[in-house]
Structure 1
């Protein structure tokens, strides 16, 4: 099995969920569950844990994960998948930071909310830029949420990528279930200790706060090979851990539902309606939603703040909250998806090609060194 159709649609729906959720928040309209964009990010996290493990399973017969060269190739692939578009939009966000903050003041003032700290949008200092370019910002509470982008989750992703090869090694020795449980217990312990020491993260950008969700995604992929029931039970327990973001009953129940739905779409396709739904999520419209999901996730707030502030400035009290949300979404979504499509063609695909070229060049150099060593050692 080289492709699982539903993954495209799930990625696309996760990004759309985040977009809708932020539109609801910034227009003062309320809808249950859809108004919780953090749950869309949790779906992204489950998908990431699954995809990294699934891709490992596909490559493990031709890649030796006991060798650091394999780790380097993995990190290079992930860097060039994430970074090119992020760096472009990070520069745009920092340049437009003051204007975006002015829009946020209009929005928060109208909605009667506390104003955001200016540095949350306007900090273009060398230290902030350096921490974001190196992805270290997620480790530091004061920098974890300090650009107009929703990039706290990118720092989290990079932390996960950093430790993933070591999780693979542990899984090779102890199995995926034991590894997922032990890593999650260790992460929760570190998160609780950090909290006790006074580290208060404005968003769960520190890997120990979300490692249990990555681990649950890993177990969904591990169940493709063996121990489906045991992986299901262990992952369900991990998803229920009340740490990392909001932990009210609604969030806990919906997270568990997201996990069970994802698991079903991957593993229970013998049930006809689940198989049809999984195939539908792999159809061309959902495929493109998935392809554009990363761009939409990154760019939408740059558009949404201006549109939401304009709607308030133009109509203020004359427009009901539902209409304000509808208009804001109707304007923001096409622009965000249009920009995502352009950036996918012009930036993301080019970045991925560059990453493959770097890996290929590194591989050729390594082969050449090995050949020279063998020739030198030959009698």
Structure 2
């Protein structure tokens, strides 16, 4: 049995998390500077990789703990939700307050950017709504369910609300999978998501961004399948990978053109190859195994640890930088893009390190302390 299936560390996960955040950051730099490149300039694909990783990690950690924390016990649900809340909420709350406080400054910068790029201006409400109702919608993580509040801060936090919806649903999904099996369970969950999406579209309840879980359930499910495959035989592992690939090309929850669908399929197959290297043909394994190991080195480990902070912070820094460069220097869009990254990335990752060290880690420690088994007297 491989270390991954035995419950050990999977080396490439840190690197994939870090690269997903970097993809989003670089993609937003493309959009804001008007420098258009396919794929790498599309932050939505980086978010899809994040979502897939989330689905994978939640199942992977569950499988490791299932002996002592079965989903059938309600205490497992409480423990799971507390841990996830304290992993996400502390830094998010700090950045939410920062975003709503700095909203007028960010909005002014965005108006300069949109005017320069000749695109429809962003809605003022996204940046300027510091009302109590907006705060409550975001502090409760219910904003992703509302068309009015789902895209109403300067943060890219639409996916954070989506993530919290997935955490809320996961125990129920795992119970279904445990009772009917992976293929039937995931098929039912994905079909329910697609049906809900269709009904919402028909009644006109649509979202500016795919903040509602059914819109992205198929991508979460793909990651879950790749994790579930770790505890199956080789034949079923390939079946799970094929099914995961089929799920991510479903034309819902984002761009629907063939290039995006092919890229999502490639992401699934690459992810599978990196975490199932021992099941690949020898020639493929000789390529995939060193890459998987390399993505687990110290640099990528640190990049992965800072990924959440970098994801939350980068637009608050990047938009004023781009607006300044538009007014200060007369250069081509590719040069402005490069200058934006040169200025933004060191600041973003320095702030992400501060957030990780002084907010994220203390928050995670609180979550662990609250869920630590009590010693019997």
Match of residue 126 from structure 1 = 132
How far the C-alpha of 1:64 sits from its partner, in A, is 2.2
* Alpha carbons 1:292, 1:341 under 8 Å: kept: yes
Q: What is the count of residue pairs matched by the alignment?
A: 363
Secondary structure of the residue that 2:150 maps to in structure 1?
coil
Match of residue 341 from structure 2 = 329
The runs of at least 4 consecutive aligned structure 1 residues that moved more than 3 Å come to none
CA distance in 2, matches of 1:256, 1:45: 14
CA distance in 2, matches of 1:160, 1:322: 37
Indicate which of 251, 256, 259 corresponds to 1:242: 251
Match of residue 353 from structure 2 = 341
Alpha-carbon displacement from aligned partner over 1:141-176 (angstroms, at most 9, x marks no partner): 121110000000000000000010011111111112
CA distance in 2, matches of 1:215, 1:326: 36
Match of residue 211 from structure 2 = 205
Match of residue 233 from structure 1 = 242
CA distance in 2, matches of 1:248, 1:4: 32
State TM-score, norm by structure 2.
0.95
Match of residue 276 from structure 2 = 267
Match of residue 222 from structure 1 = 228
Bigger shift: residues 335-344 or 267-276? 267-276
* Alpha carbons 1:181, 1:234 under 8 Å: kept: no
1:88-167 → structure 2 map (5 Å cutoff): 88-167=94-173
Indicate which of 260, 263, 268 corresponds to 1:254: 263
Gaps of 5+ in 1: 372-379
RMSD: 1.1
Alpha-carbon displacement from aligned partner over 1:104-138 (angstroms, at most 9, x marks no partner): 00111111111111001111111111010011100
CA distance in 2, matches of 1:276, 1:233: 24
Match of residue 375 from structure 1 = none
How far the C-alpha of 1:268 sits from its partner, in A, is 2.6
How far the C-alpha of 1:199 sits from its partner, in A, is 1.0
Match of residue 68 from structure 2 = 62
State TM-score, norm by structure 1.
0.94
Secondary structure of the residue that 1:223 maps to in structure 2?
helix
Match of residue 289 from structure 1 = 303
* Alpha carbons 2:241, 2:268 under 8 Å: kept: no
